[in-house]
Structure 1
Amino acid sequence: MIKDNQKTFNRFHGILDLIALFIAYSLSYVIRFIMFKPDKGFLPWSTMLHYFIYLVPVYSLIYYCCNLYAPKRSKGHKTEFINIVKSNIIGIIYFILVLWIFKKEVNVSRSFISIFFISNTVIMFLYRITLVRILHAIRAHGFNLKHILIVGYSRTAEGYITRIQANPQWGYHVLGILDDTKKEGDMYKNIKVLGNTDKLTALLEKNDIDEIAITLSISEYSKLENLVAACEKSGVHTLFIPDYNNIIPTKPYIEDLGGLPIINIRRVPLSNTFNKTIKRCIDIFGALVALTIFSIPMLVVAIAIKTTSKGPLIYSQVRIGLHNKEFKMYKFRSMEIQPESVEKKAWTTLNDPRVTPIGKFIRKTSIDELPQLFNVLKGEMSLIGPRPERPYFVEKFKEEIPRYMIKHQVRPGLTGWAQVNGYRGDTSIRKRIDHDLYYIENWTLGLDIKILFLTFFKGFINKNAY
């Protein structure tokens, strides 16, 4: 059975991890005490080996707690790397504690531990990636397979089978499908329908099944309780793959409400108070720094606008922001004065006669957006987020584009994921919304930094700004 194979593999994996730990520890000693001989604080190998003995059992426990021995058939390298870094951070904290208890060479530990942390992380990641690739090759040739029975024919079942067959390195083998709406012998991509769901108990008793995947269509969920009970009774590992892709097109998450599981249809990291506070503090600091840096260019642009055309210096336009609230967004005026009834419904087009000579330049270089730093300070906008739209177009797009209004769950931004990917000005609204939703659901400080970095290199010059 695959479960027994997994246990054996985990033991083997654990031994390899300890070998890698010893290699990293030894390499760190060579680098710290032999290649770069210290003037003082030298520790002999025998002493350092004594400390290593205290690391072995605790590191093994840390690796286990950090999910480094969980099945990895379909896991990505990124998840593995994060778990390795996390385990090594915890391990280093423990190592420092050991040195402190023994009160030995704290000054040496700073450099040695830094080298040890880096070398152990790199060695573990490289050897584990190599091992994963070897296992993928073995599974792709039909060995070490996990045998799966699918219960319920649906769009989800088709998607599950398609992904498994497209990734033979995962090592999954589908034995067949049980379903009450299909005829026995029907096929999907060479996977046969073995009969109706009443056969489940008999197949569980007779076959060497490693896993059951329940993929009922949403109209058949009344059968779910009995099917799960039958699977649990057999002791076979059971997966439930819900058929809600057309209803919930994103990655939902579950939270506990006094023992009652609640499915949140959409994950919005910026709904978290801590995340919101951190982002707001960065917005205020960033806006103040930007205003200081760009104060002279803004002054030059202001003089150029006032001397080349009639009208106000700053142009304000009503936009829809956080929680669908209206606010006035500021820009340097780049167009001739026009009636509000015309302006609020019109896009700027190529060679638009309304654009002033200086306006063409500041629109192309996004300099006209700089007054929005004051919107950021007021809390109406963020440095990074989905671009806000005018009320007329919000009403229009929310009827035409699914999920359009989700963008108003976060503050709009001066720049965003859609903008650095080229979706600015007269470009696809649907593509823009797809990128906005990706940002909303996958927000991290790292993503904000990446967008800010990309904005400096390719976000300011807008080829779609007319």
Structure 2
Amino acid sequence: MIRENQRYLNRLQIFLDLLLIVLSYILAYSTRFYLLDSGTISLTLSTSLKPIILCLPVYFILYNIFDIYSTRRTKPFHTEVSAIIKTNILAGIILMVGLFTFKVIDFSRLTIILFFFINTCLTIGCRIGIRLILKKYRRLGYNLKHCLVVGTTDSSALFLDKAAKNAHWGYNIAGIVTSNTHPLTSFKGYDVAGKVEDLETLLSKSTIDIVIIGVSGSDLIELSYILQICEKSGVKTQIIPYYHKYIPAKPYMDDLDGLPVIDIRHVPLDNVFKNFIKRSFDIVFALVAITLTSPLLLFAAFMTKLTSPGPIIYKQERVGLNRKNFNMYKFRSMRVQTKEEEKAKWTTPNDPRKTKWGSFMRKTSIDELPQFFNVLKGDMSVVGPRPERPFFVDQFKETIPRYMIKHQVRPGITGWAQINGYRGDTSIEGRIEHDLYYIENWTFSFDLKIILLTIFKGFVNKNAY
């Protein structure tokens, strides 16, 4: 029944999406030529609408590529919004290339821009409306997904808690099935429907949409039988790994000549193409940044030399990609120190080692600008976890769980942790938590977001001293 409902919902959603594309263009055309009245009508509505109609299959294909028509019960809304925006951008590019290729020169560029924004807003608005309606009906007991939970473990308990907390998922717990070795009469307030040996009978007598398996390591001997019965009954099955609490990241399956292997930490930048895209962007961005800030670079160098004796550029050993050490460049902001003095001391507020000009550079992040040369060398990226000195790395790897994972990607000039206030003498645990989130959820758009946030709020920070 759930699958039928999902199929009807998808058909309705496809119809609405395609209808909104046409409606959005009509609104964009009307706004351009009747409301703004900024020029003569070069193409009639019926004529200019033809390329949009021809683009409908493109939108349909792209929406499917970005997986926008899969069930959205537990899917975060921001992933759906991201897919809609990406589809509109790509479809817009394809439309403009098509217009250029077929020499349709009278097509209004302003209309295309308006069409992009209107269609994006209307489609997102439509999705919000559908989500709100579905949430309301699921809370009222309609469109429910009937679940049978196998196992009375901590994993099963966690699933039951989350299903109760997120009523809008529409997960109705139809019963609990206990292990043959751990029989109970109730679990987490739910009645026990039977034991594993009763599973086939339960599935044949009840309308179950999904079986959630949460058995423990000691009950794995029963897992083969459970899966066999579920597949025989044709019911959808999901497994909560009993070891999930030991894997704090997003695991993914690898294949070694037919042997499935679980990689406990998915790093998107391990992908050669994604890594190439990031590295190419780093080089272009660093060249542009050095060019645009060259007057500031020269002024900072002059002031550093003028206000304190010693070298202009300060080289400090840091730990980078694959735990390899490199020299990170900064404008010198402190008096010249011995290596023993500098390697084991963290910078603090009102640090007497800082010069007045150095203090200003640190507050405004001007001292970080030479690191764009580190980016060109390949030691660093524009965005990534901030690198630390070997002395502190040796300490943190013993006391901070998962600290060394940050070295699986290039360190950055700015990062997700720094944008969220973790600069200077702040929580190392909080910094690592944000660094790991960045590493596991990297996308090119995520990098752009961090760069924009850095421009608007990241240069000046109260914790930068």
Q: TM-score, normalised by structure 2?
A: 0.86
Residues in 2 aligned to 1:284 and 1:428: alpha-carbon distance in whole angstroms:
31
User: CA offsets per residue over residues 410-435 of structure 1, 9 Å max, x none?
Assistant: 11122211112111111111111111
Partner of 2:370: 371
Equivalence map 1:142-157=2 (5 Å): 142-157=141-156
Instruction: Kindly state the Cα deviation for residue 247 of structure 1 after the two structures are TM-superposed.
Output: 2.3
For the 8 Å contact 2:423–2:463, the answer to whether it is kept is: yes
Percent identity between the two aligned chains: 49
Is 1:176 aligned to 2:183, yes or no? no
Instruction: Kindly state the Cα deviation for residue 67 of structure 1 after the two structures are TM-superposed.
Output: 4.3
Residues in 2 aligned to 1:365 and 1:59: alpha-carbon distance in whole angstroms:
44
Is 1:305 aligned to 2:304, yes or no? yes
Partner of 1:286: 285
Q: What code does the residue aligned with 2:70 have?
A: A
Residues in 2 aligned to 1:185 and 1:52: alpha-carbon distance in whole angstroms:
61
What is the aligned length? 463
Instruction: Kindly state the Cα deviation for residue 310 of structure 1 after the two structures are TM-superposed.
Output: 3.4
Q: TM-score, normalised by structure 1?
A: 0.86
Residues in 1 aligned to 2:31 and 2:464: alpha-carbon distance in whole angstroms:
55
Equivalence map 1:118-133=2 (5 Å): 118-133=117-132
Partner of 1:344: 343
Instruction: Kindly state the Cα deviation for residue 369 of structure 1 after the two structures are TM-superposed.
Output: 2.3
Residues in 2 aligned to 1:319 and 1:393: alpha-carbon distance in whole angstroms:
10
Residues in 1 aligned to 2:397 and 2:7: alpha-carbon distance in whole angstroms:
52
Q: Cα distance 1:407–1:21, how it changes in 2: closer, same or farther (>3 A)?
A: closer
Instruction: Kindly state the Cα deviation for residue 215 of structure 1 after the two structures are TM-superposed.
Output: 1.5
Q: What code does the residue aligned with 1:169 have?
A: H
Q: What code does the residue aligned with 1:76 have?
A: P
Is 1:418 aligned to 2:417, yes or no? yes
User: CA offsets per residue over residues 111-145 of structure 1, 9 Å max, x none?
Assistant: 76666555444433322321221111011111221
Q: What code does the residue aligned with 1:303 have?
A: F
Residues in 2 aligned to 1:347 and 1:28: alpha-carbon distance in whole angstroms:
57
Q: Cα distance 1:365–1:97, how it changes in 2: closer, same or farther (>3 A)?
A: closer
Equivalence map 1:28-47=2 (5 Å): 30-31=30-31, 42-43=43-44, 45=46
Residues in 2 aligned to 1:372 and 1:56: alpha-carbon distance in whole angstroms:
46
Residues in 2 aligned to 1:239 and 1:442: alpha-carbon distance in whole angstroms:
23
Could you say which structure has the larger radius of gyration? 1
Instruction: Kindly state the Cα deviation for residue 17 of structure 1 after the two structures are TM-superposed.
Output: 4.7
For the 8 Å contact 2:33–2:41, the answer to whether it is kept is: no
Residues in 2 aligned to 1:397 and 1:214: alpha-carbon distance in whole angstroms:
38
Residues in 2 aligned to 1:59 and 1:384: alpha-carbon distance in whole angstroms:
32
Is 1:2 aligned to 2:2, yes or no? yes
User: CA offsets per residue over residues 425-446 of structure 1, 9 Å max, x none?
Assistant: 1111111111111111122222
Residues in 1 aligned to 2:429 and 2:13: alpha-carbon distance in whole angstroms:
46
Is 1:233 aligned to 2:236, yes or no? no
For the 8 Å contact 1:184–1:194, the answer to whether it is kept is: no
Residues in 1 aligned to 2:428 and 2:411: alpha-carbon distance in whole angstroms:
16
For the 8 Å contact 2:48–2:107, the answer to whether it is kept is: no
For the 8 Å contact 1:41–1:105, the answer to whether it is kept is: no
Answer with 377-386 or 9-18: which moved more: 9-18
Residues in 1 aligned to 2:279 and 2:382: alpha-carbon distance in whole angstroms:
9
Residues in 2 aligned to 1:94 and 1:374: alpha-carbon distance in whole angstroms:
36
SS at match of 2:327: strand
SS at match of 2:309: coil
Residues in 2 aligned to 1:152 and 1:19: alpha-carbon distance in whole angstroms:
46
SS at match of 2:244: coil
Instruction: Kindly state the Cα deviation for residue 170 of structure 1 after the two structures are TM-superposed.
Output: 1.6
Unaligned runs of 5+ in 1: none
Partner of 1:70: 70
Query: How large is the Cα RMSD of the aligned pairs?
Result: 3.5
Partner of 2:448: 449
Residues in 1 aligned to 2:152 and 2:286: alpha-carbon distance in whole angstroms:
54
Q: Cα distance 1:218–1:12, how it changes in 2: closer, same or farther (>3 A)?
A: same
Equivalence map 1:263-282=2 (5 Å): 263-282=262-281
Q: What code does the residue aligned with 2:166 have?
A: N
For the 8 Å contact 2:18–2:56, the answer to whether it is kept is: yes
Partner of 1:136: 135
For the 8 Å contact 2:211–2:230, the answer to whether it is kept is: yes
For the 8 Å contact 2:283–2:376, the answer to whether it is kept is: yes
Is 1:79 aligned to 2:79, yes or no? yes
Q: What code does the residue aligned with 1:351 have?
A: N
Answer with 68-77 or 47-56: which moved more: 47-56
Unaligned runs of 5+ in 2: none
Instruction: Kindly state the Cα deviation for residue 62 of structure 1 after the two structures are TM-superposed.
Output: 7.1
